[in-house]
A and B are shown apart, each in its own frame.
Chain A
Amino acid sequence: MAGAPLLDIKGVHTYYGNIRALNGVNVSVNEGEIVALIGANGAGKSTLMMTVFGAPRARTGTITFAGTDITQMPTHEIARLRIAQSPEGRRIFPRMTVMENLQMGASLDNLKYYDEDVEKVFTLFPRLKERINQRGGTLSGGEQQMLSIGRALMARPKLLLLDEPSLGLAPLIVKQIFDAIRELNRTQGLTVFLVEQNAFGALKLATRGYVMVNGNVTMSGTGKDLLANPEVRAAYLEGGHH
């Protein structure tokens, strides 16, 4: 492992009012990796994703991206460092068309690479092309998920954060999306940090993984090791997706 990690989260505590959501989290993501964060509902996974963007802001601890301390940086400036996120709840702009949503994704470069990049997104998700002039709010859950990931990719990210990319999607499409992530990682070296409930799929995809319980990271290791770990199997895999 040469050099510092691309994203380095150190001792981060995050609060909602007085309620502590993250309790001294340490997570790092190296360039070219796919890192999975698994854990039960309410463990703080999505909070960690949003804390990277300073919304909510970490109360203590530091977050560095490519050597820059971004802990106190305004959210939009963090995004401009080329970190993109497909967030929890997808957050599609409901009264904008699919095209406008994708254009919003490309706003960092003022649509300079829009034509080129939108074709890549359509290759990944042909369904979006059929829906190009439809309003985001009228799409099905799965289509919104594709749009949310597509919008994040339009930003030409160095680091892509994916919050539950498999949520609400048919198994076949989940496989498609996981294949697409692997492909982007392999061919373009895209670094991916993803949160998943679908622990099996995520750990199979990931270089490394972290397990989160009640705002703490309790385990970490390579995807393979975690998949083989009896505790992980008992808590997140047995009776789950195989």
Chain B
Amino acid sequence: MQYFVQQLVNGLTLGSIYGLIAIGYTMVYGIIGMINFAHGDIFMVGAFTALIVFLILAAAFGSVPIVVALLVMMIVAMLLTSLYNWTIEKVAYRPLRGSFRLAPLITAIGMSIALSNFVQVTQGPRNKPIPPMVSQVYNIGGISISLKQIIIVVVTAVLLALFWYLVNRTALGRAQRACEQDRKMAALLGIDVDRTISITFIMGAALAAVAGTLFLMYYGVVSFSDGFVPGVKAFTAAVLGGIGSLPGAVLGGLLIGFIESMWSAYFSIDYKDVAAFSILAIVLIFLPSGILGRPEVEKV
């Protein structure tokens, strides 16, 4: 039982990170119907930015209080990563809007490769480690919970609450949902659709940057290729939860996190990715619109 609960805790931690990334996939899909395959690499850029900020902080001030360091890392990562995603949308996706359906998808794969190669060339191909930032571990009833895990879950929860408020209770969120449901009508009501789409890319990137920062803190290492596997897993999470659904992205993220940690614990850790991706195939066959997704047809 203790072992099982331990795995739940680990799964929750992983799932939080996947959920934060998955929101970016699902929001962009919701509003312009494309899968932004570069989103995983946006996450990786976020992690790298956090790494660089950490190294600068360490070099400039020696030891910095952990809360301050994390906060600065997150904010800088959010800003820079948003700028990347905003630019990608503007130069690579917007000109192709209204083109045939595969064009933005192919371009997104191109952007993904461009980003990871860019980081590989500028930062080098090796894993970049940082010294452990947080090392406290608490033992609660035989279950060990590290401070890192607590930070990840708390930061994710706070961010999701803010994000929920933004989407459901503000004019910006309303405009986003309107664009998602009927772009042309939104424009007829005076909503600047292009700007709303840009903001969606910025929001998705900001969440991915936080996920990247948390990822770096958790594993203590990042490399240029780290966008791929977490990216595809987060994408799987978005599909599992129902692509286009925000609660679905979070639920899917948590489920993928649980599946991965349970599989590693009870079966084989080498096959954990196989398990996660088998889920993608199974979901697509038996539940194409995901757990919380809606079927394409709706009453007009």
Which residues of chain A have a CB within 8 Å of any CB of chain B?
53, 55, 74-76, 79-80, 84-85, 87, 89, 91, 93-96, 100, 103-105, 107-108, 110-111, 137-138, 151, 155
What separation, in Å, do the CA atoms of A210 and B185 have in the docked complex?
26
Docked-complex contact B178 and A93, CB < 8 angstroms: yes
List which B171-197 residues lie within 8 A (CB) of chain A.
171, 174-175, 177-178, 181-182, 184-193
A93/B185 in contact, CB under 8 A = yes
A155/B299 contact (C-beta < 8 A), A95-B181, A104-B174, A111-B171 known: no
A76 contact from B171, B177, B192, B300, Cβ within 8 A:
B192
Given contacts A89-B300, A138-B299, contact A55 B187 (CB under 8 A): yes
Taken together as a complex, chains A and B put the C-alpha atoms of A14 and B271 apart, in Å, by: 58
| CB proximity of B21 to chain A, nearest CB, Å | 24
Q: Please determine whether B174 and A94 come into contact, CB atoms closer than 8 angstroms.
A: no
* Docked complex Cα distance between A87 and B300 (Å): 14
- The answer to whether the Cβ of B270 comes within 8 Å of any Cβ in the partner chain is no
B296 contacts the other chain (CB 8 A): no
Residues of B near any A CB (own CB < 8 A): 171, 174-175, 177-178, 181-182, 184-193, 298-300
Instruction: Output the nearest chain A residue to B184 by Cβ-Cβ distance.
Output: A55
Minimum C-beta distance from A73 to chain B (A): 11
Note all chain B residues with C-beta closer than 8 A to A103: 174
B188 touches A104 (CB 8 A): no
CB nearest to B187 among chain A residues: A75
Given A94-B298, A138-B299: A79 touches B181 (CB 8 Å cut-off):
no
Q: Which of B171, B178, B181, B192 contacts A110 (CB 8 A)?
A: B171
Residues of chain A lying within 8 A (CB to CB) of residue B192: 74, 76
Docked complex Cα distance between A84 and B171 (Å): 19
- Interface-centre pick from B171, B177, B188 (highest chain A CB count, 10 A): B188
Write the chain B residue with the least CB distance to A111.
Answer: B171
A142 to chain B, nearest CB (A): 14
Measured CB to CB, the closest approach of chain B to A226, in angstroms, equals 28
Taking a contact as CB atoms closer than 8 A, the residue among A53, A89, A107, A151 that contacts B174 in the complex is: A107
A110 to B186, CA, bound (A): 14
Chain A residues with CB below 8 A from B298, complex form: 94, 137
Contact A76 B182 (CB under 8 A): no
